[in-house]
């Protein structure tokens, strides 16, 4: 509660006569005296502006039973959370001359409990379920005034605006949703004036806090159920996935989603989640119909997530991966179809699944294999989809921890609360909805083996010191537990961010950075690995033909040219998904250019005729720039080249804000391009 001067919060029964005189003077057009609190003065002013009748004796009659039933359905979460507390009020307020009232955000009373005689007297002023007690309807009163100011208030006797309510004293405060502070209701304690007690205000504040805590526990339980229900959809997803809860807040996303949404001009930040009201679910399990979807979002991208009973739990947003590069044709393109596909052997045993003939990637493998023999943490650096988990698994297989478990977790795919429980686990009874027997966290599950934390740059600041403590003391505490558990594991982390810059910007702790980045390996993107596309294509064709029992398949030369000259902003993951899609959609033994997805085909007309054959690769980097939407990665690279690393000029050429350009540079890992161009 916001701390205020005592006189602003509490009523003083000794001032009743002075307050009554001030009320009469106010109605006659005069100004209140100093005996009137600022809170009451402001409320009376609002009542007068809204033409509230000061002689009113009671609130209006209640709404119809059917309407009240609908209101209770709409506020079912609030009623469920408050039910045990209201049940207790029935007993502890008996014979106190007071009662407890629960109202919604329109100040309509939903339920009441307390002293039976007082409940009976309350009916005379329509202080009963189904009646709205806003200031506009009933003048100054604790329920309506608390909602108007958003703070705890106490209104006593003569301080009420309407004459018929001046026999009462009441204290109230708003109830806020624990995740975002949205007001979801009001709790009030009322009684006749002789029941005045300053402790009534403390009671309602405590009651509101207990209701909010129950809502927080219930919300966490709902999110676990939502995650379980959506789990099958995340396996092998070839698109950006963002999971929204029933209130329209993002709770999980995969690593493709950030790039996919950024290309559309939309962003999702799980560290500071913003609500999308368009994806909120009403009490009937439907998306709200009063809000149009944003321009970037297509309705067919939305999938409902339901439980075993068919009840909708949330919404899965499936965003297609942006195709940001350009294929190159004409004389300027290297005729790679005539070159033999190469898949070098003799890679270290732990990394045998990696397909490459590129010297840069082979050097990264050599370095990783050398580091694998130690027990120090390793930080993998590379763009989304470049194969960081393949390296992490290789490090594990070649390490002293090879006989232990390999446990992976994406730090960017969960909200702060879910990430904490996933990392550290919890004991039985830690919160409402906690699983029987508790949950073993990923750190504990990795004991004796390797813990791979992908997108560690997305880890919330307040969680970083807890993980740092685990790394330095080799022990963890499950949530709700006071006894430490010893752990011994090898940490491998990965990120597409520049963590040094994140530290400088205050988004990543320096002590944590130096602990996780003892050693690092940079994995080059696919566009820098000349010749690897053909080898990967052959590998994926063989793999998916066997997996899907398709029979013999091959890609014709023209199709291979386009694939090898495409920029692949989604790297190996994007190539894998494209190959699988083309094979499944084609029934021909020789798959031709007509099987190419439209989003790749649309960029296949770039004309580089007249360039020497050796300029094929450079032709991709200097594809024409007309807007940021047309091939972001290559457009930005070209702008950086033409301005020699001057980002102010590059942003002006691309017609975007400089801050947006910085985000795109980080997203596509182009920091080295800037340094290279400035150096040249």
Residue 520 φ/ψ, nearest 5 degrees: -145, 155
Query: Does pLDDT of 620 surpass 50?
Result: no
pLDDT cut 70: percent of the chain above it:
84
Distance separating alpha carbons of residues 439 and 550, to the nearest angstrom: 42
pLDDT of residue 433: 54
Under a CB-based contact definition with an 8 Å cutoff, are residues 598 and 323 in contact?
no
Distance separating alpha carbons of residues 171 and 154, to the nearest angstrom: 4
Most confident among 299-308, 447-456, 671-680 (mean pLDDT) = 447-456
Quickly state the pLDDT bin for 322 (edges 50, 70, 90).
low
Write out pLDDT tens, residues 188-247: 999 998 888 888 999 999 999 999 988 988 888 888 888 888 887 876 666 788 999 999
Distance separating alpha carbons of residues 575 and 534, to the nearest angstrom: 11
- Average pLDDT on 436-462 reads 89
- Return all residues near 678 (Cβ < 8 A) that are at least 6 apart: 644, 645
pLDDT of residue 34: 67
Quickly state the pLDDT bin for 435 (edges 50, 70, 90).
low
Write out pLDDT tens, residues 483-541: 889 999 999 999 998 898 899 888 899 989 989 988 899 999 998 887 889 989 999 99
DSSP bridge partners of 170: 155, 190
Lowest pLDDT segment from 325-329, 457-461, 598-602, 641-645:
325-329
- Average pLDDT on 446-474 reads 92
3-class secondary structure, 261: helix
What DSSP state is assigned to residue 146? H
Query: Does pLDDT of 338 surpass 50?
Result: no
Query: Does pLDDT of 49 surpass 90?
Result: yes
User: Which of 230, 236, 233, 232 lies closest to 577 in space, CA to CA?
Assistant: 236
Burial class (CB in 10 A: 0-12, 13-18, 19+), 66: exposed
- The b/e string for 29-64 (b: 16+ C-beta within 10 A; e otherwise) is eeebeeebbebbeebbebbeeeebebebeebeebbe
Going through 569-659 in order, the beta strands assigned E by DSSP cover 590-591, 606-607
Write out pLDDT tens, residues 128-182: 999 999 999 999 999 999 999 999 999 999 999 999 999 999 999 999 998 888 9
Going through 366-510 in order, the beta strands assigned E by DSSP cover 378-381, 406-410, 425-426, 439-440, 450-454, 475-476, 485-486, 490-495
Under a CB-based contact definition with an 8 Å cutoff, are residues 592 and 580 in contact?
no
Distance separating alpha carbons of residues 85 and 95, to the nearest angstrom: 18
Under a CB-based contact definition with an 8 Å cutoff, are residues 240 and 297 in contact?
no
pLDDT of residue 140: 96
Burial class (CB in 10 A: 0-12, 13-18, 19+), 385: buried
Query: Does pLDDT of 324 surpass 50?
Result: no
Under a CB-based contact definition with an 8 Å cutoff, are residues 474 and 515 in contact?
no
User: Which of 214, 247, 330 lies closest to 613 in space, CA to CA?
Assistant: 330
Write out pLDDT tens, residues 276-301: 888 888 777 787 665 678 888 888 89
pLDDT of residue 568: 87
Distance separating alpha carbons of residues 277 and 264, to the nearest angstrom: 19
What DSSP state is assigned to residue 518? S
Distance separating alpha carbons of residues 548 and 159, to the nearest angstrom: 77
Query: Does pLDDT of 2 surpass 50?
Result: no
Most confident among 107-121, 223-237, 265-279 (mean pLDDT) = 107-121
Query: Does pLDDT of 626 surpass 60?
Result: no
Under a CB-based contact definition with an 8 Å cutoff, are residues 151 and 8 in contact?
no
User: Which of 224, 232, 229, 255 lies closest to 242 in space, CA to CA?
Assistant: 255
Distance separating alpha carbons of residues 463 and 638, to the nearest angstrom: 39
Residue, of 11 and 307, whose pLDDT is higher: 307
pLDDT of residue 122: 95
* Distance (Å) of CA 368 to CA 350, 399, 532: 10, 10, 19
Residue, of 110 and 34, whose pLDDT is higher: 110
pLDDT of residue 332: 38
State the first-to-last Cα distance of the chain, in angstroms, to the nearest integer: 59
Q: Where does 602-631 have alpha helices with state H?
A: 616-621
Burial class (CB in 10 A: 0-12, 13-18, 19+), 530: middle
Angle at the Cα of 474 from the Cα atoms of 468 and 475, rounded to 5 degrees: 95
Mean pLDDT of the chain: 82
Neighbours of 236 (CB within 10 A): 8
- Return all residues near 34 (Cβ < 8 A) that are at least 6 apart: none
Using CA of residue 294, residue 298, residue 301, residue 307, what is the dihedral sign?
A: positive
Lowest pLDDT segment from 324-338, 519-533, 641-655:
324-338
330 — alpha (psi -120 to 50), left (phi > 0) or beta? left
Under a CB-based contact definition with an 8 Å cutoff, are residues 75 and 117 in contact?
no
- Average pLDDT on 48-73 reads 93
Please tell me the pTM assigned to this model.
0.56
Quickly state the pLDDT bin for 625 (edges 50, 70, 90).
very low
Distance separating alpha carbons of residues 586 and 595, to the nearest angstrom: 7
Burial class (CB in 10 A: 0-12, 13-18, 19+), 232: exposed
Query: Does pLDDT of 656 surpass 80?
Result: no
Residue, of 231 and 379, whose pLDDT is higher: 379
Most confident among 11-20, 588-597, 612-621 (mean pLDDT) = 588-597
As a 3-state breakdown, the chain gives helix, strand, coil percent values, each rounded to 5, of: 45, 15, 40
* Distance (Å) of CA 443 to CA 98, 155, 427, 519: 51, 53, 15, 20
User: Which of 193, 190, 200, 135 lies closest to 162 in space, CA to CA?
Assistant: 135
- Return all residues near 368 (Cβ < 8 A) that are at least 6 apart: 351, 378, 391, 394, 395, 521
User: Which of 657, 616, 623, 661 lies closest to 642 in space, CA to CA?
Assistant: 623
């Amino acid at each position: 509660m916001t701390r205020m001067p005592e006189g602003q919060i509490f009523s003083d029964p000794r001032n009743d006569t002075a307050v009554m005189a001030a009320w009469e003077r106010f109605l006659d057009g005069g100004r209140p005296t100093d005996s009137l609190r600022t809170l009451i003065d402001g409320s009376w002013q609002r009542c007068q502006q809204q033409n509230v009748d000061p002689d009113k004796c009671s609130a209006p009659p209640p709404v119809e039973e059917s309407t009240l039933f609908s209101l209770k359905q709409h506020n079912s979460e609030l009623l469920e959370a408050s039910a045990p507390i209201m049940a207790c009020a029935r007993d502890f307020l008996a014979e106190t001359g007071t009662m407890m009232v629960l109202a919604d955000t329109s100040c309509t009373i939903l339920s009441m409990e307390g002293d039976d005689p007082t409940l009976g007297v309350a009916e005379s002023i329509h202080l009963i379920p189904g009646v709205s007690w806003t200031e506009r309807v009933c003048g100054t009163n604790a329920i309506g005034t608390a909602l108007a100011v958003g703070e705890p208030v106490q209104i006593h006797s003569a301080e009420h605006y309407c004459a018929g309510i001046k026999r009462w004293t009441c204290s109230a405060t708003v109830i806020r949703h624990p995740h975002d502070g949205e007001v979801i209701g009001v709790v009030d304690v009322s009684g006749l004036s002789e029941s005045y007690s300053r402790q009534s205000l403390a009671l309602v504040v405590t009651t509101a806090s207990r209701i909010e805590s129950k809502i927080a526990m219930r919300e966490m339980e709902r999110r676990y159920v939502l995650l379980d229900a959506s789990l099958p959809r995340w396996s092998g997803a070839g698109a950006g996935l963002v999971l929204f809860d029933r209130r329209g807040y993002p709770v999980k996303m995969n690593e493709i989603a950030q790039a996919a949404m950024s290309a559309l001009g939309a962003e999702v930040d799980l560290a500071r989640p913003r609500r999308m009201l368009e994806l909120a679910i009403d009490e009937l399990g439907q998306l709200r119909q009063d809000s149009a979807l944003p321009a970037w979002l297509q309705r067919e991208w939305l999938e409902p997530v339901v439980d075993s009973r068919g009840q909708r739990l949330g919404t899965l947003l499936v965003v297609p991966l942006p195709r940001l590069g350009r294929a190159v044709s004409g004389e300027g393109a290297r005729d790679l179809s005539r070159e033999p596909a190469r898949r070098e052997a003799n890679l270290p045993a732990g990394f045998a699944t990696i397909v490459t003939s590129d010297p840069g990637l082979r050097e990264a493998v050599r370095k990783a294999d050398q580091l694998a023999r130690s027990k120090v943490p390793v930080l993998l650096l590379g763009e989304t989809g470049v194969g960081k988990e393949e390296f992490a698994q290789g490090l594990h297989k070649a390490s002293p921890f090879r006989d232990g478990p390999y446990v992976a977790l994406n730090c960017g795919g969960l909200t702060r609360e879910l990430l904490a429980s996933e990392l550290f686990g919890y004991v039985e009874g830690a919160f409402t909805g906690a699983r029987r027997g508790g949950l073993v966290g990923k750190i504990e599950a990795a004991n004796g083996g390797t813990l791979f934390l992908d997108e560690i740059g997305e880890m919330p600041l307040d969680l970083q010191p807890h993980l740092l403590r685990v790394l330095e003391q080799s022990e963890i505490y499950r949530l709700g537990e006071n006894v430490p558990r010893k752990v011994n594991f090898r940490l491998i982390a990965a990120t597409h961010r520049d963590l040094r810059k994140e530290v400088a910007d205050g988004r990543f702790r320096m002590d944590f950075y130096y602990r996780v980045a003892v050693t690092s390996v940079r994995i080059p993107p696919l566009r820098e690995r000349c010749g690897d596309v053909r080898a990967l294509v052959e590998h994926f064709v063989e793999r998916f033909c066997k997996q899907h029992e398709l029979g013999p398949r091959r890609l014709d030369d023209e199709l291979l040219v386009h694939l090898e000259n495409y920029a692949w902003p989604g790297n190996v993951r994007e190539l894998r998904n494209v190959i699988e899609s083309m094979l499944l959609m084609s029934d021909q033994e020789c798959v031709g250019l007509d099987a190419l997805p439209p989003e790749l085909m649309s960029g296949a007309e770039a004309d580089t005729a007249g360039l020497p054959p050796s300029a094929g690769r450079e032709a991709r980097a200097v594809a024409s720039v007309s807007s940021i939407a047309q091939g972001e990665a290559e457009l930005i690279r070209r702008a950086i080249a033409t301005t020699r690393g001057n980002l102010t000029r590059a942003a002006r050429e691309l017609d975007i804000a400089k801050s947006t350009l910085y985000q795109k540079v980080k997203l596509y890992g182009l920091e080295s391009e800037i340094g290279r161009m400035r150096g040249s």
